[in-house]
Chains A and B, each alone.
Chain A
Amino acid sequence: MSTDPMIAKDPMIAKTEADAPKVAIELVGVNKWYGEFHVLRDVNLTVTRGERLVICGPSGSGKSTLIRCINRLEEHQKGRIIVDGIELTDDLKRIDEVRREVGMCFQHFNLFPHLTILENCTLAPMWVRKMPKKEAEALAMHFLEKVKIPHQANKYPGQLSGGQQQRVAIARALCMRPRIMLFDEPTSALDPEMVKEVLDTMVELAQDGMTMLCVTHEMGFARQVANRVIFMDAGQIIEMNEPNAFFSNPQHERTKLFLSQILH
């Protein structure tokens, strides 16, 4: 599914200037070790703007580490990572720039429990983008409406269900108006009846043309929105294909085994 010009786009979703780099993310020969453990082994990947990638693989295969390297929550030791035209190095300024452009949702939401839903959403726009409070609140309400929980704005995260919390986390990330969204197993910690509401939100976001990288095992979601599915194992990309071909005709033995185990 390519970006469909027929779908009405959310005007508040990040502006993609005409002259913005066509390549959103580029990984060249990325290697990372945790101590002696070689967790990412020579990963090469190019993501173009507007693309939606789903990354799957067994636990410990390095998929989370890979997307966490993209906003420098993890440091890579070898190779190059270029996000939105900015190469990630030790330079704090560049890390700040990249984090401003890249939103992220976590498995355990990581909302700030001492702040209300609204404050969770306005914190970064106010302190990072220096947006006036009124404006930040209007922006936050826009995105809370988008994820369908505007009436919970004055509650605290602990008072919401898991699905609602994850949708707030998506809204919080969107408030920084990122050009790229990373999802690290966003539905794995949810009760079964809440998975759908989060996936629906993500589908809608995909339809708005957001560049998305999702680590997930929701294969229905992958089929519905992904341009490409990546299978990782032992720190490397084993197979990459467009979703239909990936699911119906996996090539690598390891992929076949993995799919046979998760698609009963």
Chain B
Amino acid sequence: MTSETIFVSSTFREPEPPPVSDRGPVRWVRAHLLGTVPQVLLTLFGLWLLYVVVPPLVQFFLVDAVWSGTNRTACLPADVGHPVGACWPFIWAKINQLIYGFYPAGERWRVNVVYALGALLLLPLVLQQVPYKRLNAIAFFGVYPVVAFVLLTGGNFQLRHFLLGYLGFDALFPRVAPGVSVSWVFWTDYVLSSVLLAALAGGIARVVAGPDAVRGAVRTVATIMVPLALVLLAVDVNFGLEPVETRLWGGLLVTLVIAVSGITVSLPFGILLALGRRSSVPLVKICSILFIEFWRGVPVITVLFFATYMLPLFLPDGMTIDGLLRALVGVALFASAYMAEVVRGGLQAIPKGQYEGAMAVGLRYGPMMRLVVLPQALKLVIPGIVNNFIGLFKDTTLVLIVSIFDLLGAMRAAFTDPNWATPTTLFTGFGFAGLIYFVFCFGMSRYSMALEKRLDRAQRH
């Protein structure tokens, strides 16, 4: 054998840092911007694009812009004496309308409180370092919607019937003189109905699953009825707030109400639908598929039209549903169907071994899904989920066609003011509206990217 075939290592090489020439900005520019001829061409094209797009925008929105004034004359080139860009005083003049719609001026503090409270609860929820996430989530998803609802509408709904009342038993309940802020008829009805439901659930559980199941069934009813009572109580009590009809709401308020409620409803509902679609129970599966395919197959504008103009024809005489609520439900159901398909994509990517691992340690279907499968599946489809959220946020503008004035609607209404009819009003308005939408959507996008990065770092392979 020659000496080349035999080798025994006699040294051990310690790891060293990479050579310096691999780092540094000059090196980076050469490698990424000017490496090859196509790269140079692309770099030049990019620079040209920036040159074409950025200076005119800066010119229009900043340099030539008018910043103050009280009416259209401030923004007319003839009166100003130089070419006029964006007419910002128009925005300042209309800002209240854009933020609150026709919400009564004296009550606007309520909207402000809702905005502030929302920001105050949302911020610590998305910042990773802040503790008490569970409590925070309960406050944001459980308590905040009720508080916001009462503040925005004014509450004091004067509830009259619960289940038994609708069945015609209300004559049996005691009547207390008017002037008491909550309705005794309603609450007697509520308590009796709850007891009846609990008894019914307990009875069914006993027949189906034996006496051991009774406690669980009663507890389930209680966990639904007690929080519901708190919600209804909040809605029923007279806090002395002036009622504000939803047709007075508008602008950013409506955009946020529709988007936030659509987002918070569509995710959990979409998850349930996705699980339903993969269920082995035929009835659940068929219902989920029908629901998803129906809402996916119908344009959102049709849904809104139907909810607004057709639904009242099918409702019994005298029964009305709030216009905004109808649009909200339509948007939420629509978004849920889309969300379901995104989540299903994530569920399908989870290997069978994960289910088997979970089952083998004794987890039942519920905990298996909640603790093992869904956390992984949802993480995989964060880009899709946020994509849906962003789409939903922008789709809210479609409520314009059923005469609900969201941010864009309020803006278009503001255009009709002859006081501010100038050549650049339109561009200023759309530019401003676009900026607002962009800020929200870009925020969601950045948050989703940060979230993905964080989750990836935690479980790097």
What residues of A have a CB within 8 angstroms of the CB of B455 in the complex?
A: 114
Is the C-beta of B26 less than 8 angstroms from some C-beta in chain A? no
Query: A172 to B363, alpha carbons, bound, how many Å?
Result: 13
The answer to whether B459 and A96 touch across the interface, beta carbons within 8 angstroms, is no
- Cβ-neighbour of B376 out of A99, A104, A114, A158 (below 8 A): A114
- Cβ-neighbour of B360 out of A71, A127, A156 (below 8 A): A71
Q: Which of B250-258, B309-317, B364-372, B418-426 contacts A (4 or more CB under 8 A)?
A: B364-372
The answer to whether A156 and B459 touch across the interface, beta carbons within 8 angstroms, is yes
Convert B347-375 into 0s and 1s, putting 1 for each residue whose CB lies closer than 8 angstroms to a CB of A: 00000011011111111100100011001
Is the C-beta of A235 less than 8 angstroms from some C-beta in chain B? no
Is the C-beta of A176 less than 8 angstroms from some C-beta in chain B? yes
Is the C-beta of B460 less than 8 angstroms from some C-beta in chain A? yes
- Within 61-84 of A, Cβ neighbours of B (below 8 Å) are at 71, 73
In this complex, the member of B361, B375, B376, B459 whose beta carbon has the largest number of chain A beta carbons within 10 angstroms is B361
User: How many residues on the B side are at the interface (Cβ–Cβ under 8 A)?
Assistant: 22
The answer to whether A173 and B353 touch across the interface, beta carbons within 8 angstroms, is no
What residues of B have a CB within 8 angstroms of the CB of A176 in the complex?
A: 361-362
Nearest Cβ on chain B to A73's Cβ, whole angstroms: 6
Query: A99 to B362, alpha carbons, bound, how many Å?
Result: 5
Nearest Cβ on chain A to B270's Cβ, whole angstroms: 20
The answer to whether B359 and A73 touch across the interface, beta carbons within 8 angstroms, is yes
The answer to whether A96 and B360 touch across the interface, beta carbons within 8 angstroms, is no
The answer to whether B353 and A114 touch across the interface, beta carbons within 8 angstroms, is no
The answer to whether A96 and B364 touch across the interface, beta carbons within 8 angstroms, is yes
The answer to whether B360 and A114 touch across the interface, beta carbons within 8 angstroms, is no
Is the C-beta of B161 less than 8 angstroms from some C-beta in chain A? no
The answer to whether B357 and A156 touch across the interface, beta carbons within 8 angstroms, is no
Convert A101-129 into 0s and 1s, putting 1 for each residue whose CB lies closer than 8 angstroms to a CB of B: 01110101111111000000001100110
Is the C-beta of B461 less than 8 angstroms from some C-beta in chain A? yes
In this complex, the member of A73, A99, A114 whose beta carbon has the largest number of chain B beta carbons within 10 angstroms is A114
The answer to whether A114 and B379 touch across the interface, beta carbons within 8 angstroms, is yes
The answer to whether B371 and A123 touch across the interface, beta carbons within 8 angstroms, is yes
What residues of B have a CB within 8 angstroms of the CB of A156 in the complex?
A: 458-460
Knowing A110-B354, A113-B376, A114-B375, say if A124 contacts B361 (CB, 8 Å).
yes
The answer to whether B363 and A128 touch across the interface, beta carbons within 8 angstroms, is yes
The answer to whether B460 and A159 touch across the interface, beta carbons within 8 angstroms, is yes
Knowing A113-B459, A158-B459, say if A106 contacts B359 (CB, 8 Å).
no
What residues of B have a CB within 8 angstroms of the CB of A92 in the complex?
A: 364
Is the C-beta of A100 less than 8 angstroms from some C-beta in chain B? yes
Knowing A110-B353, A112-B372, say if A158 contacts B362 (CB, 8 Å).
no
User: How many residues on the A side are at the interface (Cβ–Cβ under 8 A)?
Assistant: 28
What residues of A have a CB within 8 angstroms of the CB of B461 in the complex?
A: 113, 158-159
Nearest chain A residue, comparing its CB with the CB of B358:
A112
Query: A112 to B367, alpha carbons, bound, how many Å?
Result: 13
Nearest chain A residue, comparing its CB with the CB of B364:
A96
Knowing A112-B372, A156-B458, say if A124 contacts B362 (CB, 8 Å).
yes
- Within 424-461 of B, Cβ neighbours of A (below 8 Å) are at 455, 458-461
Convert A123-162 into 0s and 1s, putting 1 for each residue whose CB lies closer than 8 angstroms to a CB of B: 1100110000000000000000000000000001111000
Nearest chain A residue, comparing its CB with the CB of B370:
A127
The answer to whether B459 and A123 touch across the interface, beta carbons within 8 angstroms, is no
Query: A100 to B371, alpha carbons, bound, how many Å?
Result: 17
- Give the interface of A toward B (CB within 8 A): 71, 73, 92, 96, 99-100, 102-104, 106, 108-114, 123-124, 127-128, 156-159, 172-173, 176
- Give the interface of B toward A (CB within 8 A): 353-354, 356-364, 367, 371-372, 375-376, 379, 455, 458-461
The 4 closest A-B pairs by CB, nearest first: A110-B357, A124-B361, A158-B461, A104-B360
List 18 A-B residue pairs with CB atoms under 8 Å apart, sorted by A's residue number: A71-B359, A92-B364, A96-B364, A99-B359, A99-B361, A102-B360, A108-B353, A112-B358, A112-B376, A114-B375, A114-B379, A114-B458, A123-B361, A124-B363, A127-B363, A156-B458, A156-B460, A173-B361
- Given contact pairs A99-B362, A124-B362, A128-B363, a sample of 19 additional A-B residue pairs in the complex whose CB atoms are under 8 Å apart: A71-B359, A73-B356, A73-B360, A96-B362, A99-B359, A103-B361, A106-B357, A109-B357, A110-B356, A114-B375, A114-B455, A123-B371, A123-B372, A124-B361, A128-B361, A128-B362, A128-B367, A156-B459, A173-B360
